[in-house]
Structure 1
């Protein structure tokens, strides 16, 4: 029962932090520092649970893109500004999501082949939270100035798509960076200065990315014979908890960014990072 409670707690932490720009992986590493480490499959699978929430929220848009991609009549789809997207626009958007995913997939496999693993200490996460907080404030200021100078843009260009794919690799290599923060702010700096548009693309590209990562880890676990050692009940509890809490978190964030900047999240990251650096013993 104790293990199930910890799994539930980790699932809730993942669901809340996966899409808020505060780093889900960083928070899980911090939590596991005191609650005990979990397998790579566990951590990635509950991220997939959180991504499932995005599928539910955006299922109409995703279905429209799929039909447009297949060349069939697509239902009306809407961009973050509430404007109707034509089948051609939906198809173009789908191609850009695929391009971003492919950049991440190729880079991620390369990183995996090089033998990279998450750090076992919290200190690197703390520094990433602090540095990321400063970067978020500067990036949003630069994006706001560009929007004031050139007008707010909601379009996703090919440059934005490819850079978002690269940003996901960076976020995976440096826990505490935050996948959502890295992708959102790269999109803002690269020209998509409309916060909702940048956020939506960052969320949607996470769907194939995290599902593919989960499948990759699952196949690796089964191949290595590690399935017997995995607590599948605890993993299922964490998966469901992550999906439910992520649904609530995403709905709240999409409403929040309509009227607010990301400054509050930067302040939170800075405070948590500094607290960890001050309180943690050296080397932990």
Structure 2
């Protein structure tokens, strides 16, 4: 398989998995186990492609927030988005500077998928017993920021799953409200991560080592696929729980643990 086709497939996979609570990073690591490893820069930039897709999906909501800051509820919402992003940045940046890197084996991803799937089933069952609320509190904003860091450190956890279900358990029990807040926080988070990765490559003189055609193709594929997936998901969660995704994670996690040789 050519590198270009491999990049295209990885971009499509990123767009499919970034916003579903199944872990895009985990799926990329699993796919690259067979399609060939890619750089952290490649992985982060195609995630930014998926984030561009969600920016397009929520463009009207973002415009309404930006032009409606004279309204208290809009200012409050934007400030909480900012706090969630700052928590992620202030906690996540030292982790990155400490030299953290993605794992080279699939086994920890498999365990994260399995445990995360069980956690989703339990969390949603508990949240279903709570009164339906769509108000984002400061506690929820801080927790979402921390959840993003945890998901970044443990591939397979899923940024969206960790943040959405933690938000629901802390009082933002309406699925659509929790999902929207987490997705909007992801916009500055992933764009900042991509920018940081780009600057790191430039600082070490490694920009020439990237295959920019592969990056561009994967980025475009992630944008197109991510746009379609988000539009579908926002409609799906209005009448369905996330149960199907939790079961998928459990099945994939078990399959990987059973079929992969130890240490792979």
TM-score bracket relative to the smaller structure: over 0.9
In structure 2, the partner of 1:230 is 210
Question: SS of 1:145's equivalent?
Answer: coil
Residue 223 of structure 1 and its aligned partner are, at CA, apart by: 1.0
User: Are 1:271 and 2:255 an aligned pair?
Assistant: no
Note the alpha carbon deviations across 1:20-52, whole angstroms, 9 max, x for none: 000000000000011111111110000000001
In structure 2, the partner of 1:120 is 104
Q: Which residues of 2 match residues 40-189 of structure 1 at below 5 A? A: 40-69=40-69, 71=70, 87-146=71-130, 151-189=131-169
Residue 114 of structure 1 and its aligned partner are, at CA, apart by: 1.8
In structure 2, the partner of 1:23 is 23
Note the alpha carbon deviations across 1:74-102, whole angstroms, 9 max, x for none: xxxxxxxxxxxxx2211111100000000
Which ranges of structure 1 fall in alignment gaps of 5 or more residues?
Answer: 72-86
Cα separation, 1, equivalents of 2:57 and 2:96? 31
Cα separation, 2, equivalents of 1:207 and 1:192? 20
Q: Which runs of 4+ in 1 moved over 3 A?
A: none
Question: SS of 1:244's equivalent?
Answer: helix
Question: SS of 2:128's equivalent?
Answer: helix
In structure 2, the partner of 1:242 is 222
Note the alpha carbon deviations across 1:177-223, whole angstroms, 9 max, x for none: 00010111011001000000000001000000000000000011011
In structure 2, the partner of 1:218 is 198
How many matched pairs?
264
TM-score by length of 1: 0.91
Residue 108 of structure 1 and its aligned partner are, at CA, apart by: 1.1
Which ranges of structure 2 fall in alignment gaps of 5 or more residues?
Answer: none
Question: SS of 2:220's equivalent?
Answer: helix
Residue 61 of structure 1 and its aligned partner are, at CA, apart by: 1.2
TM-score by length of 2: 0.98
Residue 68 of structure 1 and its aligned partner are, at CA, apart by: 3.2
Cα separation, 1, equivalents of 2:27 and 2:160? 14
In structure 1, the partner of 2:240 is 260
